[in-house]
Amino acid sequence: SLLIALLIAATSFGQDEKAKKILDDISLKTKAYKTMIFEFTVIIAAPDEEPITQSGKVYVKDEKYFLSLTEQEIYCDGTTITTFLKEDNECYTRAVADVEEGEIVSPTQLLTVWEDGYKYKYIQETTYADRPAHEIHLYPKDPSKSKFHTIILKIDVERNEVVFFMVKGKDGTNTKYKISKFEKMKSYRI
């Protein structure tokens, strides 16, 4: 039984090292893109409620971005975040510095969320949208400060890009991001 325990520990360590290598490569690739655009669908499924689905498109340049969703638009100039609610015809602004700990400030954080405050584990090679994909799970290092318990990532093996991102909330709410298009742009004015 000692041999089995050692084999399990060695396998777990290897999986974490594999996850680290994959995630580090994605971080380097993503940070090299100063300007990018990606399209996605977000599905929010809360217990006892109908799922909410929205499509979005994001234009990113350095720390600035413009995010267009079905029901809202969000613009960030690097210092302030301005949100326009289409149905209410209302707009509100807040400082990036006022964002709560653990809250996603920039859409690019979805593509590199693991860099700070997470443990990670390589789960398996699987498929996503009929393409080979790595599945990696992230866990908050300090679960008491987090509103979720797990983030599931699926990474396209050939393109080395995040294509699926699911946040599993402690309250039973699951938020899925399906990235349908991702491209580096030579330049873009936001």
pLDDT (tens digit per residue) in 9-55: 444 444 588 999 999 998 888 777 778 888 999 899 999 899 999 89
80 against 102, higher pLDDT: 80
State the Cα–Cα distance between residues 190 and 36, nearest whole angstrom: 11
Structure confidence by residue, pLDDT tens digits, 46-93: 998 999 998 999 898 888 889 898 889 999 998 899 999 999 999 999
pLDDT of residue 100: 65
pLDDT of residue 36: 86
Q: What angle do CA 72, 128, 106 make, to 5 degrees?
A: 35
pLDDT of residue 84: 94
Dihedral of CA 17/18/19/21: which sign? positive
State the Cα–Cα distance between residues 98 and 188, nearest whole angstrom: 27
pLDDT confidence bin for 2, thresholds 50/70/90: very low
Please list, residue by residue across 17-56, b when 16 or more beta carbons sit within 10 angstroms of its beta carbon and e when fewer do: ebbeebbeebeeebeebebbbbebebeebeeeeeeeeeeb
pLDDT of residue 186: 59
Structure confidence by residue, pLDDT tens digits, 117-170: 889 999 999 999 999 999 999 998 888 888 889 999 999 999 988 999 999 999
Point out which residues pair with 130 in neighbouring strands: none
pTM: 0.79
pLDDT of residue 103: 59
Q: Token digits for 57?
A: 């498109």
pLDDT of residue 101: 57
Residue 1 pLDDT more than 50?
no
Distance of CA 53 to the CA centre of its chain: 17
pLDDT of residue 22: 92
Q: Token digits for 47?
A: 């217990």
Residue 104 pLDDT more than 50?
yes
